[in-house]
Amino acid sequence: MNVRKFIAATARDALRKVKETLGPDAIILSNRGIPGGVEIMAVAARDMEMIVPTPERDTSRSKEYTSAASPAASPTASPVPTPLAAREPPQLPAQGQPNARPSPRPLPPLAARPLPQMAVPQSPPARSDPKPEAEVVPAAVMEEIRTLRRIVEQQLAGFAWGESARTEPVKMEILRQMLDVGFSPQAARDLLADLPRELESGPALSWVKGAAERGLLTINSESDIVDQGGIYALVGPTGVGKTTTTAKLAARCVLRHGARKLALVTTDGYRIGAHEQLRIYGRILGVPVHLARDAKDLRATLRDLQHTHMVLIDTMGMSQRDRMVSEQVAMFAASNVQSLLLLSATSRGDTLDDVVRSYSRLDLAGSILTKVDEAASLASSLDVIIRNGLRLYYVSNGQRVPEDLHLPNRQYLLHRAFKDLPESSPHHLSGVEPGLMMATSAVGLQSAGGQHG
């Protein structure tokens, strides 16, 4: 679709240019005022007919008009962009002139008059392949239509943001702060949805933190799995710290219940030295380490360890998009194994969402947040944990075994998450940037909903 831009000092001059260039049937897509004049976006009618064919110009349906003898037979036209009223009105004779004719009687509405009978010339039948019921619109044309739609939707969302910033300045300032530190637009919308309008900045921020704290599910000292026991597999992508976290949990269990109450199992028989690393921790703690290469080995090993208070399974690290994730799911499916998903606090929110989707097929008991000491902000990781309803079991903030493994402190974690960025930070949003970010997110959600609907 060949969309043209016309700029002139006045709307009349711009419309005249449209008429001269694209003809009297041109379609106006948009018009707006610019410094020094007016800008009009238009397209020729013949180009628009590639997308929305006009019934009056569709010769393939002439037989329907021929047989239309009643109002019920008139077709209903689909809504199309408004044509340019480029034709000049007819010149009527002035009153008092001898050739002036009286005004004709008004015609009845179109729907109340039968359409005239038209003789359609009969052409000899031609041997050709049957035409498809509907022509396929080229992908490039559809992409241009989607682009125009996104532009309009973003402009409307931007207007809504400006109005909200004027009427609810406190809410918009907290929204800017949340976007600054790494919360997703969706989480920000959810947390701010019920914010009381009468609150000032300080109480409003405390209210939002309280709402986030209520949404963050955690365990406490009374529900520590080290005391409750069970079979737990630590899963997650490469480099998230599964083996080190397994050793920390093992040391925590040994300190409370003794080495005889614990067993370690590894399914990582692929990486060079992975099994040996866990064996080193096992020798230090005085805990046996078993290797399970497949589901059959795992079932046999867990059967032998069924009377052990706690069994920790260290798994192989792999990309969340690796096909072997499905094999890992199948390995644990036949065993009474609960999985703890390890999430790195240094990862982006969209990456963590991808990890959660890939491992959600496992029987996830909850999550462990690692590398907290390396992350500049905890907003993205806590955002993912809250939105996906994952219970947070432990927080790991270093390499020391077992000192750097803690039960989660929700107030401390959310204090870290909401810590505002300095004005000098290159990640600080200013002006209309928060509005543009929210507008883009809203348009993306609508597009995703339309594709899945």
Residue with the two structure tokens 């831009």: 5
Read off the tokens for 207. Answer: 């209210």
Q: What is the predicted pLDDT for the residue at 217? A: 94
**Neighbouring residues of 184: CB distance < 8 A, sequence distance ≥ 6:** 349, 380, 383, 387, 441
Q: What is the predicted pLDDT for the residue at 59? A: 45
Q: What is the predicted pLDDT for the residue at 122? A: 57
Amino acid at 316: M
Q: What is the predicted pLDDT for the residue at 136? A: 62
Read off the tokens for 338. Answer: 């609960």
Query: Which residue segments constitute the domains of the chain, with CATH numbers given?
Result: 1-58 (no CATH), 145-215+439-452 (no CATH), 221-407 (3.40.50.300)
Residue with the two structure tokens 């992908």: 139
Residue with the two structure tokens 């630590």: 234
Read off the tokens for 272. Answer: 């060079």
As a whole number of angstroms, the distance between CA 444 and CA 209 comes to 27
Nearest to 164 by CA among 133, 139, 188: 188
Amino acid at 426: P
Nearest to 5 by CA among 42, 46, 47: 42
**Which helix (H) or strand (E) is 282 found in, with range?**
helix 274-285
As a whole number of angstroms, the distance between CA 277 and CA 272 comes to 10
Q: What is the predicted pLDDT for the residue at 424? A: 66
Which stretches in the chain have pLDDT values below 50?
Answer: 54-80, 84-100, 107-113, 115-116, 118-120, 132, 134, 443-453
Residue with the two structure tokens 């020798």: 283
Q: Strand pairing of 310-314 and 262-266?
A: parallel
Residue with the two structure tokens 């597999």: 233
Residue with the two structure tokens 């016309």: 6
As a whole number of angstroms, the distance between CA 195 and CA 210 comes to 11
Neighbours of 411 (CB within 10 A): 9
Q: Quick check: helix, strand or coil at residue 252?
A: helix
As a whole number of angstroms, the distance between CA 211 and CA 414 comes to 11
